[in-house]
Amino acid sequence: MLDRRRMLQGVTAGAALGASMVPDRLLAAPGSSDTTPKRIIFFLQNQGFDPETCIPAGMNASGSLAKAKLPEPINALEPYKERLHIINGLHGLHTSPSHSAFFGALGGYRGGDGVPPSAPTIDYELSKVLPQTLLPHLCIGMDSIENMSTKPTIATLSASGAGQPIFMYSNPNQLYQMLYGGISTGDIRRRHEARSNVLSRIEGLAATKGQSLPDADRQRYGQFVQGFKDVNGLRDRLDTVADHLRQFAPTVDERYASPQFETDWHDVLLELGISALTSGITNTLTIGSGRGEIFGAWKGLGIDQQGHNLGHMKQPDNPIWIKIRQYNSRMLVRIMEALESVPEGSGTMMDHTLIVYTSNNADKQHTSGANWPVMLLGNLDGAFRTGCLTQLDGKRPINALYATLLRVAGVACDHFNMDDKLARKFDAGVGPLKELLA
């Protein structure tokens, strides 16, 4: 049986195989009690998520969205209102988000720039308990061309444990090579084989070193060695299902090598993420628009401003933020339409999927985290209510949402990443948010 607790640490993001169209031998480990394909997608936009950009005008309390008109920033979701659940009134006061909560956004703990994760994040924890796949978690990050080129991998949002960040991919060429290099031809295939040979040699060399290091350094060194081992193991496993993957690999076009704008890379990264879901390479996808930091650029949308300055602009009725949020909404629609097109069980992949859209920055830049709006799309096999707004009283943290996700995935959880002392101070309730459940 695969050890699902091991993730690539310091080297790469995780990826997985296992969906309804994947050969049966890859669906789950022997003896697994739940083989129903399920998947969860996290989409985090930096600089905050102002509730006025998602809550319909005049809705001041919980209620149905059926007769409401969605605000302009998310109007692309209007045809999908019956699948939408807007949540307002969660908090993240204990995460000290300010510019960003970084790992704390998905971890539900205090984060900060350059501060290592103090515990696993919810996306990783879910990837362990969803029906097993070969390597369950993929993380992709979108930023300016300059940042994505000079820092093709970065770790700010996801973690497999304390001090164990999970890196997100930002260069689509590298991500394509990792996922589909083994079935490619020409230059992509040659680069894939060359890189594979290098990584194999590094793994062998690394495994023989570090024996004389102090215990603490040896443990950290061992994490990097394990990272190379997992990368090489993933390559071998992907090679065994090459024929299956050929059905899903996106076409490599000029956007990969010669993007006109950073949004060209954003778009192909999204396509790769969608292909990873529909092919079964992953069951947990994390998308970081702005990569969990204060940067980000959208020149392809006609927006000249970028980075930190965007966070100092009020979002409601702001034409710049309307364009960014509409772009996000169109991405969400693309994900839903792609999953809706793939039959699964008695329905489609989207029937067994949940998309969680929020920010790594609560409601705005320089925030206390007193309000942390979230949108859910889909119902994960009927588990969540849809077509509604839930207005909470600000007394339950984002950790309660994460405990709810775990409960739906089959894991009892009273307080996600909260000890009793922290929970008594910051959580007025226990366990899942019943208001969200069907």
Report pLDDT digits (tens) over 130-173. Answer: 987 766 799 999 999 999 999 998 999 999 999 999 999 999 99
Q: What is the CA radius of gyration of the chain?
A: 21
Average pLDDT, the chain: 85
- The SS3 call for residue 244 is helix
Pairing mode, strands 343-344 and 347-348: antiparallel
364: left (phi over 0), alpha (psi -120 to 50) or beta: beta
Q: How far apart are CA 53 and CA 33, in angstroms?
A: 41
Q: Would you state the structure tokens that stand for residue 58, as one six-digit string? A: 């005049």
What does pTM read for this prediction? 0.86
- The SS3 call for residue 160 is strand
Q: Which domains does the chain have, with CATH numbers?
A: 24-173+284-436 (3.40.720)
- Name residue, tokens 């790594």: 360
pLDDT band with cut points at 50, 70 and 90 for residue 207: low
H/E segment holding residue 390: strand 388-397
Which residues, 6+ apart, have CB-to-CB distance to 322 below 8 Å? 53, 72, 73
pLDDT band with cut points at 50, 70 and 90 for residue 417: very high
Pairing mode, strands 153-161 and 164-169: antiparallel
Instruction: Tell me which of 183 and 220 has the higher pLDDT.
Output: 183
pLDDT at 212: 54
Model confidence over 114-127: pLDDT tens digits?
999 999 999 999 99
Q: How far apart are CA 403 and CA 112, in angstroms?
A: 23
Mean per-residue pLDDT, 255-265 = 96
pLDDT at 4: 30
Give the percent of the chain with pLDDT over 70.
79
pLDDT at 201: 54
Q: Would you state the structure tokens that stand for residue 322, as one six-digit string? A: 């309307």
- Name residue, tokens 């930023």: 143
| Listed ranges 1-5, 231-235, 428-432; the one with the highest mean pLDDT | 428-432
Residue 41 has pLDDT above 50, yes or no: yes
Residue 72 has pLDDT above 60, yes or no: yes
Model confidence over 337-354: pLDDT tens digits?
999 999 998 999 999 999
- As a 3-state breakdown, the chain gives helix, strand, coil percent values, each rounded to 5, of 40, 15, 40
Q: Which of 83, 70, 13, 4 is nearest to 354 (CA)?
A: 83
Residue 194 has pLDDT above 90, yes or no: no
pLDDT at 246: 85
pLDDT at 238: 76
Residues 43, 277: contact at Cβ < 8 Å?
no
Between 2-16, 219-233, 274-288, the lowest mean confidence (pLDDT) is in 2-16
Mean per-residue pLDDT, 80-92 = 98
pLDDT at 179: 86
Mean per-residue pLDDT, 107-114 = 95
pLDDT at 242: 79
| Burial label, 98 (beta-carbon count in 10 A; 0-12, 13-18, 19+) | middle
Instruction: Tell me which of 24 and 170 has the higher pLDDT.
Output: 170
226-239 CB burial, b ≥16 within 10 A, e <16:
bbbbbbbebbebbe
Between 228-237, 387-396, 400-409, the lowest mean confidence (pLDDT) is in 228-237
Instruction: Tell me which of 215 and 324 has the higher pLDDT.
Output: 324
Residue 256 has pLDDT above 80, yes or no: yes
